[in-house]
Structure 1
């Protein structure tokens, strides 16, 4: 494909831009997909598809909207192709105890999402996009009395995600980036990010994405 590249950013509340302090949403210019697009200097557009509570492949029947990523991803691929790159940053919600609770399960879910992105029946002349798996930030202790991350999630399991996702990327033949190297969860809830850490993800991904797309 030539011309401006098209990137789908598929994620959860971290991609949507949840602000742990206000309980609302970060400004458009502070969300990591926006920062990534700006950093690519007009050579690509980034379609932000983030939904709070989204999982890789698991159902959450306590939710008001469909949160199973494997169910909605084919629809989004069909809506937005041709695509040059799909960035998948999911797994934080898989670690909720009532959803899955383990990095092993999240890794299996990520592998399934990559498979969907690579095998979807894109239209005539449209090639399958590259895929970049992004490991979410580590959970952290909170300022609350029990110091536990929101939703009863396990800090220890979050520390296993990067290694599991690197294995998934190797197995699936795609790229991987661990944003825990550049972003730290807010102590307000131990999961979500302040504006500075959200922007840091987009900035860190600029050279990674530029390299993958030859920009």
Structure 2
């Protein structure tokens, strides 16, 4: 059975922009992708998660670098790790720049490639997904005052990074857009669209 780890933040968890509750299971992109492919997709989304930076304002550790090795080992064997992170890195209090998020993403890819799988499993492939850019909300700014221009810079920087590291890239902004309700999170249709949009690149990557 093909097994995929979906590693992300609130966009993977399924945060509803109108009230912060979770979208129904049928709209969550890992579930949509699993249904399209007929494989197991393990959803590991956490609201506020960053690529590689500490943010002690939340209720738990949200630094992706600190938890990814644990998840890689607990979910062995894995065929693919999909990483969609970076939006929270762009909070001014975290790092605030697309270059900072890209540096964090590089470290996450390195962790997947170099983890001590100890012969239990082959090294999984990696697919880096650029999250949809933020938009201006009704109050004239995005949640946590992210710079919208910086969010648009993630996709090209991530694509350049993946080419240099020999892993795959996909831009979720080609099928989904942030809700104007808060400027960051996705409505149900956009959340599901990411799962549907990932079907073709994942099929090609895993030859399924």
| Same fold, judged at TM 0.5 (above) | yes
Indicate how the Cα distance of structure 1 residues 5 and 141 shifts in structure 2: closer, same or farther if over 3 A, else same.
same
Offset at residue 22 of structure 1 (A)? 2.5
Q: Does 1:214 align with 2:207?
A: yes
Selected match of 2:9 from 12, 24, 28: 12
The aligned residue for residue 35 of structure 2 is 38
Selected match of 1:107 from 88, 102, 107: 102
TM-score of the two chains, using structure 1 as the length reference? 0.95
Residue by residue over 1:82-102, the C-alpha shift from the partner in whole angstroms, topping out at 9 and shown as x without a partner, is 100000000000000000000
Q: Does 1:176 align with 2:173?
A: no
Selected match of 1:71 from 50, 66, 69: 66
Selected match of 1:165 from 152, 155, 158: 158
Residue-pair matches, total? 208
> RMSD of aligned C-alpha atoms?
0.7
SS of 2:198's equivalent? Answer: helix
TM-score of the two chains, using structure 2 as the length reference? 0.98
The aligned residue for residue 194 of structure 1 is 187
Structure 1: give runs of 5+ residues left out of the alignment. none
**Matches of 2:157 and 2:203 in 1, distance apart?**
25
The ranges of structure 1 where at least 4 consecutive aligned residues each deviate by more than 3 angstroms after the TM superposition are none
Offset at residue 123 of structure 1 (A)? 3.0
SS of 1:94's equivalent? Answer: helix
- On the 8 A contact 2:51/2:65 being kept in 1, the answer is yes
Task: Pick which of 162-171 and 8-17 moved more.
Answer: 162-171
Offset at residue 125 of structure 1 (A)? 4.5
- Structural mapping, 1:98-137, within 5 Å: 98-137=93-132
Task: Pick which of 58-67 and 120-129 moved more.
Answer: 120-129
